[in-house]
């Protein structure tokens, strides 16, 4: 058999088609309540994007980094200042440039990865988290000398059209997330991704094959920070609709880390699964608290239970399924396929022969 | 061996000059020199702890020797790093397997094509036509190597799940994928059974014969070494105690002493 190479298999294309139909047609037709867009779908897309950034540096390149929220803050405030000071750039232009500014921070704070690794690198990258937030707080210029501490984000205007309704904002987030996800998948499956994973799995061998550790690691940090920066800008402009450094604190960084791990390290779809889980789980717990126990359990206790369950899940996943929920989903599909094929092996075989 | 070689043994491709390497107070290699001729199969042998792997690590730039130089094609290389050596056309395998465990066999071998991949990450992200073309070529070459090594049936398996013998094959495949002119093999047959060893020897000789790739190998199995190598260098306590053809080495009293022990 001659080796055949295609970027996308038929399965990928059907998956993409299903996702697109679901997100572009079905969701907007059936979901009318604003709550779903403003509180669930928009933050989900934004955080999934940031989680892809975390995946690139942690899941693919194996560099334990903790500071995604810092890069998100850099992206968000870059966006605010670009729209304010360089209005000619437009929304999309500003979004790209704010991603690039975050990427510059990514390169700066990724440099320690050349010397330290593991938990020490995590501590080193934590510097980005604190430095960026401190910088924004310290220099009034970044906030346009606003004394209130919370700045309202400008309205999103693309090609002269305002995008201010929740549905419109959802589409903005969806478009950006879809494009960047596809680009990330291309990189992850191509030679770029192989270099990342080679550095992750055995850096000395990677170097002996001509993979430059310096370039690969710095590249991963830059791309990761770009994704986080764009995600941060969307997070501020579509979800929070305001800019405050406090929104991008260490808790958010940890949240993104959890999304990354629970979703499945080294998978792109895991980013979406992990983000959905971490966002929806508290909603679910609250619903259970209200409907099953009728408010008998205090809200603070529920949020504590949430933390306990997250912690437990992290431990369980780390021990039993380090590849996270994406892998569980894969296994589930596999078992369904097996069940289907064992009941109809003959039909599958004959159709396989035909397709060949 | 009475067959005609397609690639005649030529000038020195790699020269190791007066290398000394110490870890703190422990001297691993002392003032060692030898050369490797183009297209030959060169074996490095010696008892455990003789400094053989350290030698390869010095050649490849993983260790920085305190003294001495390494020359490649007559040109002295000042700051050796694994990366520079890879670019010069030197590839290697590792003693205790350094594969990318979570990646498939095919992906492992594709990483070996790194230096034949010129497109950058932006081009890859956008899947420009030249990326597809390059990827196709790299995949074709990798598939060739996979079928040469007779490991087609495991090409999509994550390497970490494979048995040891197969992993060694994959590692050879990854080194081959670089299309290097010289490959260093650090105990390519350790832990293999007779049949696997015979296969490995066949691959090494075939590569050397068909592609003219210079092979430098560390091996403990004397039968294998004497069979497949053109010249052998013997290290003991970090020093060269013998250098020559297999027959010369087998007759060398110092070598016999080092291997069998000698009464003091």
- pLDDT attached to residue B48: 86
**How close A87 comes to chain B (CA, Å)?**
27
Express each pLDDT in A9-42 by its tens digit: 788 888 888 888 888 888 888 888 888 888 899 9
Which domains are present in chain B?
Answer: 1-89+180-264 (3.40.50.300), 98-179 (3.40.50.300)
**How close A320 comes to chain B (CA, Å)?**
16
> What does the alpha-carbon distance between residue A99 and residue A176 come to, in Å, rounded to a whole number?
12
> What does the alpha-carbon distance between residue B248 and residue A190 come to, in Å, rounded to a whole number?
50
- pLDDT attached to residue A3: 37
The angle at the Cα of B74, spanning B71 to B80, to the nearest 5 degrees, equals 25
Q: Which two tokens stand for residue B223?
A: 């039968």
Q: Which of A3, A187, A197 sits opposite B100 (nearest CB)?
A: A197
In a mutational test of the B interface, the residue from A4, A205, A215, A267 whose CB has the highest number of chain B CBs within 10 Å is A205
pLDDT band at A4 (very low <50, low <70, confident <90, very high): very low
Q: Is the pLDDT of residue A297 over 80?
A: no
Close Cβ partners of A194 (under 8 Å, ≥ 6 residues apart): B103, B107, B110, B111, B114
As a whole number, mean pLDDT of residues B73-77 equals: 91
pLDDT band at A345 (very low <50, low <70, confident <90, very high): low
The whole-chain average pLDDT of chain B stands at: 91
> Do residues B124 and B130 touch, judged by C-beta distance below 8 A?
no
Q: Which long-range contacts (CB under 8 A, 24 or more apart) does B59-64 make?
A: B59/B14, B59/B16, B59/B85, B59/B90, B59/B184, B59/B216, B60/A208, B60/B85, B60/B90, B60/B92, B60/B184, B61/B85, B62/A204, B62/A208, B63/B21
**CA-based nearest residue to B36, from B182, B176, B179, B178:** B182
Express each pLDDT in A230-287 by its tens digit: 999 999 999 999 998 999 999 999 999 999 999 988 899 899 999 999 998 888 888 8
In a mutational test of the B interface, the residue from A190, A199, A219 whose CB has the highest number of chain B CBs within 10 Å is A190
The most confident of the ranges A110-114, A156-160, B35-39 is: B35-39
> Do residues A49 and A176 touch, judged by C-beta distance below 8 A?
yes
> What does the alpha-carbon distance between residue A204 and residue A195 come to, in Å, rounded to a whole number?
12
The whole-chain average pLDDT of chain A stands at: 88
**Is the CB of B131 less than 8 angstroms away from the CB of A184?**
no
Q: Is the pLDDT of residue A356 over 50?
A: no
> Do residues B252 and B242 touch, judged by C-beta distance below 8 A?
yes
pLDDT band at A302 (very low <50, low <70, confident <90, very high): confident
> What does the alpha-carbon distance between residue A79 and residue A61 come to, in Å, rounded to a whole number?
28
As a whole number, mean pLDDT of residues B59-71 equals: 93
Express each pLDDT in A115-150 by its tens digit: 888 889 998 898 889 999 999 988 889 888 887 767
pLDDT band at A355 (very low <50, low <70, confident <90, very high): very low
Instruction: State which residue of chain A sits closest to B87, comparing Cα positions.
Output: A210
**Is the CB of B126 less than 8 angstroms away from the CB of A186?**
yes
CA distances from A72 to A37, A144, B226 (A): 21, 18, 62
- Decide if the complex's ipTM is over 0.85: yes
- pLDDT attached to residue A343: 67
Q: Which of B85, B110, B132 sits opposite A194 (nearest CB)?
A: B110
Region at A210 (left for phi over 0; alpha for psi -120 to 50; beta for the rest): left
Q: Is the pLDDT of residue A2 over 60?
A: no
Q: Which of A183, A201, A207 sits opposite B82 (nearest CB)?
A: A207
**Is the CB of A208 less than 8 angstroms away from the CB of B132?**
no
* Cα B200 to chain centroid, rounded: 13
> Do residues B190 and B220 touch, judged by C-beta distance below 8 A?
yes
**CA-based nearest residue to B71, from B146, B120, B18:** B18
Domain boundaries, chain A: 10-248
């Amino acid at each position: 058999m001659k080796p055949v190479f295609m970027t996308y298999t038929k399965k990928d294309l059907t998956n993409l088609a299903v996702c697109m139909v679901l997100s572009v047609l079905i969701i907007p037709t059936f979901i009318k309540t604003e709550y779903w867009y403003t509180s669930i779908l928009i933050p989900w897309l934004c955080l999934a994007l940031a989680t892809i950034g975390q995946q690139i540096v942690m899941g693919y390149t194996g560099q334990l980094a903790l500071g995604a929220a810092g890069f998100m803050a850099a992206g968000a405030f870059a966006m605010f200042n670009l729209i304010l000071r360089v209005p000619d750039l437009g929304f999309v232009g500003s979004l790209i440039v704010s991603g690039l500014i975050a990427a510059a921070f990514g390169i700066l704070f990724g440099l320690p990865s050349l010397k330290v690794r593991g938990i020490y690198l995590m501590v080193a990258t934590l510097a980005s988290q604190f430095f960026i937030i401190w910088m924004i707080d310290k220099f009034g210029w970044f906030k346009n000398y606003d004394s209130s501490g919370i700045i309202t984000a400008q309205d999103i205007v693309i090609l002269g059209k305002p995008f201010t309704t929740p549905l419109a904002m959802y589409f903005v987030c969806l478009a950006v997330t879809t494009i960047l996800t596809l680009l990330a998948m291309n990189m992850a499956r191509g030679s770029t991704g192989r270099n990342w994973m080679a550095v992750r799995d055995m850096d000395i061998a990677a170097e002996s094959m001509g993979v430059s550790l310096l370039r690969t690691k710095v590249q991963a940090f830059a791309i990761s920070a770009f994704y986080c920066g764009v995600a941060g800008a969307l997070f501020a402009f579509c979800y929070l609709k305001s800019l405050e450094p406090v929104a991008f604190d260490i808790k958010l960084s940890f949240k993104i880390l959890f999304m990354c791990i629970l979703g499945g390290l080294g998978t792109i779809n895991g980013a979406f699964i992990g983000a959905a889980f971490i966002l929806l789980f508290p909603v679910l717990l609250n619903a259970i608290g209200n409907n099953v126990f009728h408010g008998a359990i205090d809200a603070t206790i529920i949020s504590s239970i949430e933390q306990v369950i997250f912690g437990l899940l992290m431990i369980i996943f780390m021990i039993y399924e380090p590849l996270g929920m994406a892998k569980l989903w894969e296994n589930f599909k596999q078992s369904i396929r097996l069940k289907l094929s064992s009941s109809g092996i003959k039909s599958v075989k004959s159709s396989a022969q035909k397709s060949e | 061996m009475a067959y005609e070689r397609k690639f005649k043994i030529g000038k020195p491709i790699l020269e190791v000059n007066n290398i000394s390497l110490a870890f703190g107070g422990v001297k691993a290699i002392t003032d060692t020199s030898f050369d490797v001729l183009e297209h030959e199969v060169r074996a490095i042998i010696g008892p455990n702890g003789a400094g053989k792997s350290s030698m390869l690590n010095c050649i490849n730039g993983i260790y920085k020797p305190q003294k001495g130089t390494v020359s490649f094609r007559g040109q002295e290389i000042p700051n050796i790093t694994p990366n520079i050596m890879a670019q010069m056309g030197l590839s290697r395998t590792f003693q205790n397997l350094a594969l990318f465990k979570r990646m498939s066999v095919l992906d492992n071998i594709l990483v070996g094509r790194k230096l034949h991949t010129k497109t950058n990450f932006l081009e890859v992200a956008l899947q420009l036509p030249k990326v597809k073309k390059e990827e196709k070529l790299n995949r074709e070459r990798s598939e060739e190597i996979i079928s040469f090594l007779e490991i087609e049936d495991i090409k999509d398996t994550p390497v970490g799940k494979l048995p040891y013998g197969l992993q060694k094959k994959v590692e050879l495949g990854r080194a081959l994928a670089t299309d290097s002119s010289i490959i260093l093999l650090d105990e390519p047959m350790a832990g293999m059974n007779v049949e696997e060893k015979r296969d490995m020897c066949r691959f090494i000789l075939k590569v050397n014969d068909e592609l003219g790739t210079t092979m430098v190998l560390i091996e403990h199995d004397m039968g294998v070494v004497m069979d497949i190598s053109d010249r052998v260098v013997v290290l003991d306590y970090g020093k060269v105690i013998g250098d020559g053809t297999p027959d010369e080495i087998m007759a060398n009293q110092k070598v016999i002493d080092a291997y069998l022990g000698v009464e003091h």
